[in-house]
A = this chain, B = another copy of it.
Amino acid sequence: MYFFVNDYNSICYPEILDALRESMDESNVGYGFDSHSERARDLIKKALGDEDVFIRFIPGGTPANILGLTCGMRQQDSIFSLATGHVKGHEAGSIEATGLKLELIHKDGGKLSVADLKEAMKDFGSEYQSHPKKVYISNTTELGEVYKRKEIEEIYDFCKENDMYLFIDGARIAAALASEKCDYSLADLTKMCDIFYLGGTKAGFLFGEALIIKNDKLKEDFLNLEKQKGAMLAKGFISGIMWERVFEDPEFYLKGSKDAFAMAKKLSQGFEEKGFSLAYPFESNQVFVLMDDKDVERLREFAGFETMGKKDGKNICRFVTTFRTSPGDVEGFLEKL
């Protein structure tokens, strides 16, 4: 059985379990104020080329999104997001549950543009409306696209001009940075937004994301908010140990994602060679393929993957690669295709 269901299906990098075992005899203080967490934060700052950021390790993507979107917000403030945004349709109302409104923008494709924002802003400004204060994008997008540097910079400029904050959901930012389509690096990220996170769950960690706050306003009293939202693990040092080990070697964070990208590329080419069409352009570790019902049924016998609605009368099938996907996996699967 070939497993292309998602990028969070295996435990973690073996190096992470090694690091935990090496620390088994330690006693550490709680809540992320331990020396491992401190060192991990220093290593990440170095990799980002930015000392002026506030970093906290958060247990998962949903709490990272909740914190990234609630920090610095008043009750009348709202958030622009695409209607396809992860926080809209995949988190059971997690943002609205905090009292904030998502103001949704409808369009084809998974990338928000500055033109979309300009158009959307026309509907706001009166007291009948919420007060837009933050913009949410994810990179890669829900459709596996990788934002270009210029696209993000334009959005960020627009945010600054309009007294709004830009938050980037980075659950798959390692996949974006590892893509051949990406024209920026880790060391550019803190110049491109107010707050974002480096995904860990989908990049070989046991769990967790590193939330990076660049804008000073959003750092204020952040720890109280983190505690309030249930996102401050008592054993914060476990996150510290994981992030420390991974960032000790600055190449390591993206290594597995680069492997995953190479496998996705191979997979995508294989699909096209066998006559399948892609639903969206191939840009990262998620390959979206159009298939009729018969093919879906046939492939289900030897492969795990998700279907996500229809396009042009065919099923959109998602095949995801991870750091553990091997050339043999892809070749074996393509042979049976």
Contact = CB atoms under 8 A, between A and B. Distances in A.
A94 interface: yes
Contacts of A130: 92-93, 224, 228
B94 A228 contact: yes
Given A10-B28, A230-B231, A221 B74 contact: yes
B227 A128 contact: yes
Nearest to A106: B106
A70 B123 CA distance: 25
Of the listed residues A3, A5, A207, the one surrounded by the most CB atoms of chain B closer than 10 A to its CB is A207
A8 interface: yes
A270 interface: no
A250 interface: no
Contacts of A39: none
Q: Which of A6, A25, A63, A74 has the most CB of B within 10 A?
A: A74
A318 B59 CA distance: 28
A246 to B, nearest CB: 16
B11 A228 contact: no
Contacts of A221: 74, 76-77, 131
B27 A91 contact: no
Given A72-B74, A76-B221, A20 B23 contact: no
Interface string A201-245: 110001100000000000001011111111111110010010000
A170 B112 CA distance: 37
Contacts of A106: 106
A117 interface: no
Interface string A1-41: 00101101111001001001101111111110000000000
B101 A99 contact: no
A26 B8 contact: no
Interface in A141-178: none
Interface in A53-82: 59-63, 65-66, 70-78
A90 interface: yes
Given A20-B17, A28-B10, A207 B233 contact: yes
Interface in A81-116: 89-94, 96-102, 104, 106
B230 A127 contact: no
A224 B76 contact: yes
A30 B17 contact: no
Given A127-B224, A128-B227, A230-B230, A235 B8 contact: yes
Interface of A: 3, 5-6, 8-11, 14, 17, 20-21, 23-31, 59-63, 65-66, 70-78, 89-94, 96-102, 104, 106, 123, 127-131, 201-202, 206-207, 221, 223-235, 238, 241, 304, 324
Listed from nearest, the 5 A-B pairs whose CB atoms lie closest are: A127-B223, A63-B230, A93-B101, A62-B230, A76-B224
6 contacts: A17-B24, A20-B206, A78-B93, A91-B230, A94-B230, A201-B234
Given A76-B92, A93-B100, 6 more contacts: A6-B234, A10-B25, A31-B127, A60-B234, A75-B98, A206-B206
